[in-house]
Structure 1
């Protein structure tokens, strides 16, 4: 905790100094934002409760979106731009990294797990949740773990680490499964509900988000010994230390103040739009540790 406090203090001093800097002292994304008068945030439209479209406003909402807004609030202060324009750009599992890399999106806070492969392409902020790969299935399906999937249809989401893992598991364990790749989490759950698949493999927090949408949520259960674990973080362009430090300082401040607990409660343990659904997903011990010692390193 002492190390965290010292790091936070140092980064806060950096942000304060940037706030007094002239425009020419900024570089990378901060310079781009200063000169354009706007920041573009990447969002997902169906990653409940992280980033999704929940009403008719057309504006994204969710846990990750709220954290991204904290960053834009800090940017307004640091850059001296109270009227900073915030734009949103839809991303998918397949497009999120390219759109960050090519400058279309400045910051993506959705449901992206940190991996060594992705870290070669983009920079990651401190993590904001710790997730485990599990299975969503009907309570009467007979599926309780991965061994029960042999010879059956299973659905996951295209372009995710979960998709790659499930295909590898299928080959390595010779389970003879039919692995279906849906375009997004919502479509995957629809396939599960319609009987096209017996289970949906994805990160636990996202599974609870889909489960909450069901007519009778408690007909659906999350099961399985977690074979994968990840930290979700915001993505930004590589080699951009000024912007990275501002994002990390902002998140560290939200964590240290305890505000993160209220934000988490709002999105994971209280009714959320559009239908007042409650995920019933309390904060885990792993997330509490992540908040106490911010990092973006994947779990061992």
Structure 2
């Protein structure tokens, strides 16, 4: 009995020490029994609200895997998963101040953002292009000279548009929009002649529009295809290790094919639109070698 007592004491002490060793996000989740997942309300099909106002999407499905792993690792069977709406402008502040623990949307992972936050393994690759009405015959970036272009405030896209505008002296009137819905409405109502965004999201916006045949996506790119990642807090290695482990296992398994087809090649809620956007070869290659690199050159096919 004495030996069993000593062993029990040792086990309890080890568990106590393990709990005390938790830091950062994992410690916060353990103490509150809650994980906060940020999402964007109109970033279809990465994260958005369905017909029942429930957050759904490709990135949210990936984040659910991370949350489940945290739940298991911290032994929190009743872990509360809270979804928090964010915008392009406030998502980084809400991450750094602890309001959200994961951002599950279409967020570009770049070197500038990595000074403030971290990212899990890349879940998508996309280049910045523009959409315009076919009737305007705006096909190249040079065609935007002197015209009005809309992009989402705080996004990588508006930063790239500003950079090209200055470098090429195009005199584009750049208008920031609060979200994708507002931006496309400006294009639709001719308040802007071009809408600058990631190419996959332009394809989604056009597919969902009243007249998809009226729009075209530019061949010109403002950037090389850039990585999207699940955003995490910076300098939180234990939490990032879980997110990287879970996403690497997912991306190297057949499950990622099913998740991708569900959101990009099948009818999606709320009205059953199919975006018919097959997985790009560069993304398929990236899944074979998961990485959280912000460098577009790291994902170039050899």
TM-score by length of 2: 0.89
Give the structure 1 partner of residue 175 of structure 2. Answer: 180
Q: Residue 126 of structure 1 aligns to a residue in which SS?
A: coil
Q: Does 1:195 align with 2:218?
A: no
Give the structure 2 partner of residue 15 of structure 1. Answer: none
Larger Rg, first or second structure (1 or 2):
2
| TM alignment of 1:76-95, pairs within 5 A | 76-95=71-90
1:21 is displaced (CA, Å) by 8.2
CA distance in 1, matches of 2:144, 2:100: 38
Q: Does 1:130 align with 2:97?
A: no
Give the structure 1 partner of residue 287 of structure 2. Answer: 291
1:52 is displaced (CA, Å) by 0.8
Q: For 1:167, which of 140, 162, 165 is the aligned residue?
A: 162
> Contact 1:30–1:242 at 8 Å: present in 2 too?
yes
CA distance in 2, matches of 1:135, 1:237: 31
Superposed CA offset, 1:94-146 (max 9, x none): 11111111111111111110111110111111110000011112222201111
| TM alignment of 1:216-227, pairs within 5 A | 216-227=211-222
Question: Can you give the 5+ residue segments of structure 1 that lack an aligned partner in the other structure?
Answer: 1-18
> Contact 1:100–1:236 at 8 Å: present in 2 too?
yes
Q: Does 1:65 align with 2:63?
A: no
1:23 is displaced (CA, Å) by 2.2
CA distance in 1, matches of 2:21, 2:199: 43
Give the structure 2 partner of residue 115 of structure 1. Answer: 110
> Contact 2:139–2:219 at 8 Å: present in 1 too?
yes
Q: Does 1:53 align with 2:49?
A: yes
Q: Does 1:26 align with 2:22?
A: yes
Aligned length: 281
Question: Can you give the 5+ residue segments of structure 2 that lack an aligned partner in the other structure?
Answer: 1-14, 298-302
1:224 is displaced (CA, Å) by 2.6
1:190 is displaced (CA, Å) by 0.6
> Contact 1:269–1:281 at 8 Å: present in 2 too?
yes
Give the structure 1 partner of residue 10 of structure 2. Answer: none
CA distance in 1, matches of 2:155, 2:181: 14
1:74 is displaced (CA, Å) by 1.1
Provide the alpha-carbon RMSD of the alignment: 1.6
User: In terms of mean alpha carbon deviation, does 25-34 or 98-107 score higher?
Assistant: 25-34
> Contact 2:57–2:263 at 8 Å: present in 1 too?
yes
Q: For 2:98, which of 103, 108, 129 is the aligned residue?
A: 103
Q: Residue 132 of structure 2 aligns to a residue in which SS?
A: strand
- Structure-2 change in CA distance of 1:125 and 1:21 (3 Å): farther
Q: Does 1:44 align with 2:40?
A: yes
1:218 is displaced (CA, Å) by 2.9
CA distance in 2, matches of 1:134, 1:20: 53
Q: For 1:156, which of 151, 154, 163 is the aligned residue?
A: 151
Give the structure 2 partner of residue 252 of structure 1. Answer: 248
Superposed CA offset, 1:2-27 (max 9, x none): xxxxxxxxxxxxxxxxx998422322
> Contact 1:146–1:224 at 8 Å: present in 2 too?
no
Give the structure 1 partner of residue 70 of structure 2. Answer: 75
